[in-house]
Amino acid sequence: MRQPFIVSICLIGAVALAGCEQTKTSSVERALQDVNAVDESDLSDIMLTVADPNEAVSYFQRTLKDNPDRIDIQRGLALSLVRARRFSEAVPAWQRVLKNADATSVDHVDYADALVRAGKWKEAEKQLDAIPPTHETFKRYRLEAMIADSNNEWNKADSYYETAVGLTTRPAGVLNNWGYSKLTRGDYADAERLFADAIKQDTSLFTAKNNMVLARGAQRKYTLPVVPMSQIERAQLLHTLALSAIKQNDTQTGKTLLREAIDTHPQHFEAAVRALRALEET
């Protein structure tokens, strides 16, 4: 009688041990899956920020082959294509994202952004119009402002730019865009003010400095603004100011500014030398 009892105990023990082993194995597998998920998420973040844009595109394309229905990978590919300036490819990539049931309003805004970059302004406008007005983000209003600009809807553009500025902690870029909008309308004084605001926010933004000089030149203010600038930047801005003066037939002033630009530049300033030579030969 004792032998069957001992066998039963052994069987129960074996089953119990097997159960423990299965439990351990399952726990290890789940833990590894969790680690892999974290690693993959971190890698995706790296690919979308500091990685080379084209390398990021290749990474998401490879990953998408194994995970064709994952919206985060679809989204990563679309974002990477925009970063790589491959806008004609980014548009269909975003369309694929939007077919997913989990697509968000943020995805629709990013799709509109890709459309603008691809030169499809009307399609971008329709896309933004379809997004609920309760979705209020910096990127949305910046795009709305740009589209209003393209339609010469100045009041709407100003309103959208103002809203966008209030929705970001780094408004330099949008202030520069707003200033350029004013510049193209001929509102030079307001444009100059907006460029100055942009430079206060980001003193390294040379585009805003150059645009500010254009705005000043259009008002025949042929002195450089008091803003931080390197010696090379000073020479380049003097060159821009000279060309602005020449465009308005203030030729002598233009020549003087070109000479100053040549003297200021720490190296040979070919563009300014060529412009001055052309003026002196006429």
Domain of 66, CATH number, reads 1.25.40
What pLDDT does residue 25 have? 47
Residue 154 in any domain: the answer is no
Is pLDDT of 9 > 90? no
2 inside domain:
no
pLDDT of residue 242: 97
User: How far is C-alpha 236 from the geometric centre of its chain's CA atoms?
Assistant: 26
pLDDT level of residue 180 (50, 70, 90 thresholds): very high
Compute CA distances 194 → 154, 187, 201, 269, whole Å: 15, 11, 11, 29
Domain boundary among 103, 121, 142: 103
Q: Is the pLDDT of residue 16 over 80?
A: no
Q: Evaluate if residue 169 carries a pLDDT over 90.
A: yes
The total number of residues shown for the chain amounts to 282
Q: Is residue 258 part of a domain?
A: yes
Is 24 domain-assigned? no
pTM of this prediction? 0.81
| Greatest mean pLDDT among 46-50, 181-185, 277-281 | 181-185
Between CA 145 and CA 179 the distance in angstroms is: 12
Domain span at residue 262 reads 230-282
Q: Is there a domain that residue 65 lies in?
A: yes
Total domains in the chain come to: 2
**Predicted local distance difference test score (pLDDT) of residue 27:** 53
Indicate whether 19 belongs to any domain: no
- For tokens 């979705």, the residue is 135
Which residues, at least 6 apart from 148, have a Cβ–Cβ distance to it below 8 Å?
154, 156, 157, 160
- Please check the confidence at residue 170 and state whether its pLDDT lies above 50: yes
Tens digit of each residue's pLDDT (9 = 90 or more) over 253-273: 999 999 999 999 999 999 999
pLDDT at 11 over 50: no
Residues 83-130: pLDDT tens digits?
999 999 999 999 999 999 999 999 999 999 999 999 999 999 999 999
Nearest to 201 by CA among 165, 252, 161: 165
pLDDT at position 8 over 60: no
Question: Residue 179 domain-assigned?
Answer: no
Domain C-terminal end among 55, 77, 103: 103
C-alpha count within 13 angstroms, C-beta hemisphere, residue 268: 2
Domain final residue, candidates 84, 103, 122: 103
Written as six digits, the tokens of 3 are 């032998």
| Mean predicted lDDT score pLDDT of the chain | 89
Does a structural domain hold residue 124?
no
